[in-house]
Chains A and B, each alone.
Chain A
Amino acid sequence: MTVLPKNIIPCPHSSFRRFGGIIFFLMFLFLLDLAWGSIRIPITDVFNTFLGKGSDEIYSEILINFRLPKAITAILAGSALSVSGLMMQTLFRNPLADPYVLGVSSGASLGAALVMMTTGIIAGSAGSWIVVIAAIAGAALVMMLVVGVSFKVQSAVSLLIVGIMFGTIVSSIVGVLQYFSNPDAIKLFVMWNLGSLSAVTWEHLKILTPIILIGLILTYSLQRRLDGLLLGENYAKGLGISIVQTRIFIVIITSLLSGAVTAFTGPIGFVGIAVPHIARGIFKTASHRILIPASILLGAVLILICDIVSQILAYTLPINTISSLFGAPVIIWIILKRR
């Protein structure tokens, strides 16, 4: 009977411990995100406000109508984008795939651009909903095109290329719109494109939250098929997995998650690529049963960190910029560590 060195035998408890650690960290960051900002709100006041005993009107307003929806949006966006990135990386067996690879969020950008640059409606409460609906319509349109193509292509690589091409076409159309628009409209669209968690109000969250929760649950239900795809589509077929059906499920769920987030917050980059790799690095497994919840939690953590950093200064730093600044070194570190 050979004796195996300790670090080769996997300990199931280590996964639990790691999950526990991450959950604690997440809760800590959530509180931090609520407590920190240009206006210093003491922690006691934070708790008082939520317990209904808040005294200062400005503190209450900021906490309840600004920081809380922002923090919840951060968690939803972080988990949705990370899990979409994970699915894209598995489907295309490509470590650089991200949730935007199918062109769905370019579709959302197109919808937003059309509204902002042709009608100039943005100010006003109705305006923001028009932008959201247009963005969702744009995302849905591209999603349907990609689903249609999913039936026809032979391999996943072809689908990847088609998705990227759709994204390119749509981005070009947005470029044309910008060319013909007046500077104010362009400025506003550029701001939209930089991403913003604080753009999401409680009203918006009433729609966004159920969509994301449904998407996350559906993703978890796909865990077995995703595992089957790890060896490639040919082996997956040999295991009895219907490739076309699986592709379509993945496309629809990814589009739902990333399209919905983008419609409300604008594009947020890098979370989708980096977090699945971080999850793999921490849990050292390829099993989606672990990677899906891990990506959900770590995505929320990453975006909360980005949000906390972005509000340290008096000036707002766009979330898209910060997530890229964080994400890129993480990827580089992971790749270097592997070699």
Chain B
Amino acid sequence: MPILSTDSLEIGYAKRKSRNLVQADLNLKLFQGEMVCLIGPNGSGKSTLMRTLSGVQKSLGGKISLDSQDISRFSQKELALMIALVLTDKIEVDNATVRDVVALGQHPYMHWLGGMSEKGKEKINKAIRLAHLEHKKFTFINELSDGEKQRVMIAKALAQDTPLIFLDEPTAHLDLPSRVDIMLLLHKLAHTTGKAILISTHELDLALQAGDRIWLMSENDGIETGVPEDLVLNGTFNQVFQNESYHFNTTNGNFSMNYPLTKKVNLIGDNMRMYWTLRALARIGISVEPDAGTKIEITDKGWTMDKSLYPTIESLLKALA
């Protein structure tokens, strides 16, 4: 049974006279214990979908079911017990330690005079542990790195003890090691805590590796869902991200830039260097064809062309220029 499901959902914006439909006829499911990545080009409506599913924004039609109940029957407080959010809002609090911020996750369970039960304290400590922040428990969050701050917000969402966690661009503004760290952490959390985790992200490569399921949103063709590798191999990715300047490279799961290729060379050699040599040559406008005049051979010592040996790609490119 999915913890969240939508039925012919329509999302968008409605003002008094106009109705701006962003997506329609969405039938999505979120299961516990899974990490789902919502991917799509800018403007396709990712944020709108996230806001609608978390109850912050009204849908324009259709139904959303949370734990088999219509989402409209949940009060704001009840929603807080079901969905925890991690947003991109900048956190600027003076004198708040990691523990203080994570403790805010227990807010919906606390007595109005601010007292916390033993169970609550346990949940907070567990959340801090799961996010690997124990050694920073009493550090002020202003003194943390961006990656650590993000982990604090994730820990807070964990402390909120909800079956669902939604994250909006959790890796934005982070450096690469932090981005990998966060995506790995989220994947692990989904599986160890049994929560359903939905992430909207631009992090294509990491999403394909870490996500159990992808929701691929396109501007005009709705949302395709599936296991990442299926969506890649059945060409859906190519379709959605079609563009003259780049294409989705099925082989390596990345975007390859479409450089104008004007010259040709023949390239032989069958090791790992082939792939990188291809990329370098493409950048300077050279395509690789077997019937080309110039021949380059990749050896252990370097690149051989016209009887000269070039030890680095840089020297090779200089020679070809």
Residues of A within 8 A of B (CB): 2, 4, 8-10, 93, 95, 221, 223-224, 227-228, 230-232, 234-235, 237-242, 280, 283-287, 289
Contact = CB atoms under 8 A, between A and B. Distances in A.
Given A9-B138, A224-B114, A231-B101, A240 B92 contact: no
B110 interface: yes
Given A9-B138, A227-B104, A238-B84, 13 more contacts: A95-B94, A221-B112, A224-B107, A224-B114, A227-B114, A230-B96, A237-B56, A239-B104, A239-B105, A240-B78, A285-B95, A285-B96, A285-B100
Contacts of B83: 238
Contacts of B110: 224
Nearest to B85: A238
Contacts of B107: 224, 227-228, 239-241
B56 A239 contact: no
Contacts of A284: 95
B169 to A, nearest CB: 14
Interface string B83-95: 1110101011111
**A-side binding surface: helix, strand, loop or mixed?**
loop
B44 interface: no
Interface string B252-272: 000000000000000000000
Contact of A286 (B96, B114, B160): B96
Contacts, number: 82
Interface of B: 54, 56, 76-81, 83-85, 87, 89, 91-97, 100-101, 104-105, 107-108, 110-114, 135, 138-139, 160
B48 to A, nearest CB: 15
Contact of A231 (B79, B93, B112, B160): B93
Given A9-B138, A240-B77, A232 B89 contact: yes
Closest 4 interchain pairs by CB? A240-B80, A240-B77, A238-B85, A286-B96
A198 to B, nearest CB: 36
A289 B110 CA distance: 13
Contacts of A240: 76-81, 107-108
Contacts of B85: 234-235, 238
A9 B113 CA distance: 25
20 contacts: A9-B138, A10-B97, A95-B94, A221-B113, A224-B114, A227-B114, A234-B56, A238-B56, A238-B83, A238-B84, A239-B105, A239-B107, A240-B77, A240-B78, A240-B107, A241-B76, A241-B107, A280-B94, A284-B95, A286-B93
B93 A230 contact: yes
Contacts of A228: 104, 107
A231 B91 contact: yes
Nearest to B77: A240
Contacts of B93: 230-231, 286
